[in-house]
């Protein structure tokens, strides 16, 4: 048999093993991604309950800060017929927001998917006006770009999509204010249990001109960064930390929500909470197993490289070392240089 056609059986085994390992890793990553998508969906369904959104608006949106929850609920969009019927026989379901069409489509700008998008009226009687509110549930603090820039982009889309819906042609006086509220489930420790607002302000550079705030205060973004549930935290932060926790038992959630916030937890809400808890535990278990596996692989690699260094010190030819360890000649040479042997 010619040397060119010869294949080292150990090398074949390693290649097959690497291929199987790659396939397994891809399958595991895909499974985790699907679980994270299911977790996001369950989280959004919980947040879309009308009474939960009412608490979010009361705690985050200045227009509703002085409203009681009973006063605020009628300000949200009309309850769809499907939500006017109680889900539970024993608890009146406050309803789930139908919301605006959450897929904002533009031929030139592409697609943007909002988690929750709704319109509401301000509680000002005759001076009541419409505002548009986007609520986002965010698991990943570092998705590869600053979340604030994405939030700003979402606000821009919330403004631009009003043309043809809220106003026609150049009738810009009808443009309504927009909010984008980002509920961050796993922020860095330095930002946990914080609520930060970003909005437009007037600044006089020359002179002291005054402008109507209603005409420029059109965009507001909020970062609601959660931490571990703690009753000493601001109400809205603790409420959301309890509601969206993947570690807290659903029955404990039910007790806290009903006792401290007067939020009746329907069977449907409890089911979503149980789903979140189950998926959260599965993801945590997979991440732990993955970490242990990576640690084991790192240990094996270190041991293998130590053996290569030892063989180089014993003056064993690099070709022989390569055949034994399946490391390339270039890799072996680099290891030798790194340890001052070659």
**Which residues does 223 contact at the CB level (< 8 Å), separation at least 6?**
147, 148, 151, 182, 184, 191, 194, 195, 196, 198
The 3-state DSSP class for residue 37 equals helix
Instruction: Report DSSP state, residue 84.
Output: S
Decide: 277 and 247 in contact? Cβ < 8 Å.
yes
- For 56, the 3-state DSSP assignment is helix
**Rounded Cα gap, residues 310 and 148, in angstroms:** 52
The average pLDDT across 232-253 equals 85
Place of tokens 């895909």: 30
Q: Give me the mean pLDDT over the 81-105 stretch.
A: 44
The model's pLDDT over 47-59, given as tens digits with 9 standing for 90+, comes to: 888 899 999 999 9
Supply the pLDDT for residue 3. Answer: 42
- Check residues 44 and 168 and name the one with the higher pLDDT: 168
Higher pLDDT, residue 80 or 125: 125
Confidence of residue 83 (pLDDT cuts 50, 70, 90): very low
* Diameter over CA atoms, the chain: 94
This prediction's pTM = 0.67
Q: How confident is the model at residue 178 (pLDDT cuts 50, 70, 90)?
A: very high
Q: pLDDT at residue 46 above 50?
A: yes
Alpha-carbon span 2 to 21, nearest angstrom: 31
């Amino acid at each position: 048999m010619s040397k060119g056609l010869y294949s080292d059986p150990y090398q074949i085994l390693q290649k097959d093993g690497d291929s199987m390992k790659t396939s397994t890793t891809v399958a595991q990553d895909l499974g985790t991604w699907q679980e994270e998508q299911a977790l996001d969906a369950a989280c959004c369904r919980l947040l879309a309950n009308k009474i939960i959104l009412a608490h979010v608006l009361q705690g985050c949106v200045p227009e509703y800060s002085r409203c009681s929850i009973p006063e605020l609920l009628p300000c949200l969009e009309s309850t769809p017929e499907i939500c006017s019927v109680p889900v539970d026989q024993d608890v009146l379901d406050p309803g789930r927001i139908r919301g605006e069409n959450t897929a904002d489509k533009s031929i030139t700008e592409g697609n943007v998917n909002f988690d929750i998008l709704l319109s509401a009226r301000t509680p000002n009687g005759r001076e009541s006006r419409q505002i548009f509110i986007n609520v986002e549930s965010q698991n990943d603090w570092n998705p590869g770009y600053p979340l604030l820039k994405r939030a700003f982009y979402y606000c821009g889309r919330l403004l631009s999509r009003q043309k043809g819906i809220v106003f026609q042609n150049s009738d810009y006086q009808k443009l309504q204010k927009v909010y984008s509220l980002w509920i961050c489930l796993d922020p860095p420790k330095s930002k946990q249990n914080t609520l930060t607002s970003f909005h437009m302000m007037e600044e006089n550079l020359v002179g002291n001109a005054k402008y109507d705030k209603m005409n420029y205060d059109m965009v507001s973004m909020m970062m609601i960064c959660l931490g571990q549930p703690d009753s000493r935290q601001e109400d809205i932060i603790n409420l959301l930390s309890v509601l969206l926790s993947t570690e807290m038992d659903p029955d404990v959630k039910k007790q806290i929500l009903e006792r401290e916030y007067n939020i009746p937890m329907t069977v449907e809400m409890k089911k979503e909470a149980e789903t979140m808890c189950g998926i959260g535990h599965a993801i945590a278990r997979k991440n732990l197993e993955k970490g242990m596996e990576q640690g084991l692989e790192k240990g094996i690699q270190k041991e293998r490289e130590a053996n290569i260094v030892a063989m180089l010190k014993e003056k064993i030819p690099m070709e022989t070392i390569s055949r034994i360890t399946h490391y390339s000649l270039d890799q072996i040479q680099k290891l030798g240089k790194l340890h001052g042997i070659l």
